[in-house]
Amino acid sequence: MDFNGKKIYIAPYSPKTTMFATEFQEEYTITFLGFIDNFQEGDGILKPEHITEVYDYILILSPNHGNVIFEDFSKKLPKNKLLKVEQHHNIYHF
């Protein structure tokens, strides 16, 4: 999947996703819009219902809660813009 030129959010906010955001921006030329999280707060972290920016995808990277986050977000946001990310042997799969 080619993410170049896309506007991207990443969910949830965690040390793992902050590292992923850095690596992702090194691999693709994207506009990183910030993090989406139901529980964390801070600069650059939004709740799903507070998204106002036009975006292409929300990438969900959570080994333990990815399916739950996807199901929760899909009740509030377009499903076709939600992508689950899995990491196997240091390679990300979308």
3-state secondary structure of 9: strand
In this structure, what is the dihedral angle of CA atoms 51, 13, 25, 31, given to the nearest 10 degrees?
10
Residue 1's pLDDT is 85
Backbone dihedral region of 66: left (phi > 0), alpha (psi from -120 to 50 degrees) or beta?
alpha
* pLDDT tens column, 57-92: 999 999 999 999 999 999 999 999 999 999 999 899
Structure tokens at 88: 């196997």
Residue 45's pLDDT is 97
* pTM of the entire predicted model: 0.94
Residue 4's pLDDT is 97
Q: Could you tell me the pLDDT band of residue 2, with boundaries at 50, 70 and 90?
A: very high
